[in-house]
Chain A
């Protein structure tokens, strides 16, 4: 569907992207995840055609698009700040693409009407963008891109400008819409929750390089490197005594007890340094007698009531719940 081959892009001395290879399947909800400056936005702009790679190719449905100008690519982008046309109504904003494609007027009207239903904005078609709330503007931006029935829809941090509650609502909306229209979505985000909850598969980028690709579960449970492990969630990393390997133990796999590890369990003595009550869960920060920092996350009900800062207890885990990183430390 979307295939990136050996894609590289430099800006002066800065390497924005180094030899990226990636394939996104048809109808897939795919995310590019990474901290700012990791090359994810560069990747998106290369697919959209706003930037040209120094090396490598961009293929879409098997067609080489590397040299094609943006307006001739069958992809559409939802901009981070929406970039709605301020002088046009919602309807005209959405109709912009189909009109540029010179579709028949009846077809344009049908498509725009349909897509406005999908994003639930049919009542506001006559409004101007500045008369809409942030969430509504976001949906116009989505409709304006979807209406062209692109081979792939590109989304550049689409939810970043929204407040947290609205972000959660829009996340669900995004998922619903993607399932409804069945178009390939390529989402760029630095929000791991967003990437984990929305994606069929995701790629973690770091300093212009691809770290790992996989399903959210694979990446969370079996990351290849410490970078991926820590970027996808809180992580306890143990250096393996024998080899030079690093073992990952997610904080929710740790059990805090006063009794020693049972048969088949591993355990360490640790002292509580900090307790953070988070409603449904409690985050407990500890330090072991070998002076290693640990973090445990448990449901509030499971944490012993007498747990205090300074308490000493056992941190136990099942070795099967831990994961040996591929990449040596």
Chain B
């Protein structure tokens, strides 16, 4: 059948409509995100004109990458290590929390979700500074540890350093964990919302106790939420600047601090760009792997 001109017009309109709706977002992303990011590529292949300024000259200097990986490989590893440990710790807290909010929250559910999100509404700089007084030498946490006589144990396990909490990996991981918690809880709550309460009743009816109900029903059915929670937590944690700065010492610096240091202190813009791109690449790799295994449909984003 021949399409009437009118129908043809409709079809054409239908084709450009989605693009028109996407345009503002695309312009934003391309202009303010993609172009600056691409500008880093030539910068990362340049070298500084002098040791005292940020001016650079493009030289195809691939060696920047090798040097950066050689010098800062351990920092990259540490960053991802901290991110993984804090995410793992966060998950241990987030799963029971999300479960409680979803299945026991009742009419308090919106309030409970609000309480989880509330800390994120304050600047995370303020939160990190707050942590310094909590974890400080005269702070309540260390006071409790001392009172319980756990100082030697903490030292032995490497959680404390010379009886102190500040400037230890422990402090940085704790700070990161509290930052990431809402990003872990929300996707899990969203995923658990899709779990029919009757499935839990059915599991109980079929003689499964509490742990078994969690392991066989809640865990597998909340996995899409887990996947997006992992991404939402790992990515910002790996690139964090503030927590290592305030809660860690020189040995707890993460890749974000190193990039900042390269750019603003050492005036090595090309190396800073190279390191930033390496971080970008590693994170993109993680996202691509996730999307390939999980697929976009499974991402239960809040």
Closest-by-CB residue of A relative to B221 is A87
On whether the beta carbons of B207 and A100 are closer than 8 Å, the reply is yes
Chain B hits for A86, CB < 8 A: 221
Q: How far is the CA of A313 from the CA of B248 in the complex (A)?
A: 101
> Count the A-B residue pairs with Cβ separation under 8 angstroms: how many?
58
Which size class do A's interface residues fall under? 20 to 34
Question: Per-position contact with B for A57-79: 1 when CB-CB < 8 Å, else 0?
Answer: 00000000000011110011101
- Which residue in B196, B198, B209, B220 is a CB contact (below 8 Å) of A71? B209
How many residues belonging to B are interface residues under a CB distance threshold of 8 Å?
17
Instruction: Determine how close the nearest CB of chain A comes to the CB of B217; give it in whole angstroms.
Output: 7
Interface centre among B196, B201, B205 (most CB of A within 10 A): B205
Q: How far is the CA of A75 from the CA of B201 in the complex (A)?
A: 13
Chain B hits for A145, CB < 8 A: 205-206
On whether the beta carbons of B201 and A87 are closer than 8 Å, the reply is no
Q: How far is the CA of A203 from the CA of B132 in the complex (A)?
A: 68
B159 an interface residue at 8 Å Cβ cutoff? Answer: no
Instruction: Determine how close the nearest CB of chain A comes to the CB of B272; give it in whole angstroms.
Output: 46
- A85-B217, A87-B220, A87-B221 as given contacts; A96 in contact with B206, CB under 8 Å: yes
- Which residue in A70, A85, A101 is a CB contact (below 8 Å) of B205? A70
B216 an interface residue at 8 Å Cβ cutoff? Answer: yes
Q: How far is the CA of A145 from the CA of B201 in the complex (A)?
A: 13
- Which residue in A69, A76, A81, A87 is a CB contact (below 8 Å) of B206? A76
A277 an interface residue at 8 Å Cβ cutoff? Answer: no
Chain B hits for A96, CB < 8 A: 203, 206, 208, 216
Instruction: Determine how close the nearest CB of chain A comes to the CB of B83; give it in whole angstroms.
Output: 29
Chain A hits for B205, CB < 8 A: 48, 50, 70-71, 75-77, 145
Question: Per-position contact with A for B182-202: 1 when CB-CB < 8 Å, else 0?
Answer: 000000000000001011011
Instruction: Determine how close the nearest CB of chain A comes to the CB of B259; give it in whole angstroms.
Output: 42
Instruction: Determine how close the nearest CB of chain B comes to the CB of A247; give it in whole angstroms.
Output: 45
Chain A hits for B208, CB < 8 A: 71, 96, 100
Chain A residues with CB under 8 Å of chain B are 48-50, 69-72, 75-77, 79, 81, 83-87, 96-97, 100-101, 144-145, 148
Interface pairs A-B: 4 shortest CB-CB: A97-B206, A100-B207, A83-B202, A83-B198
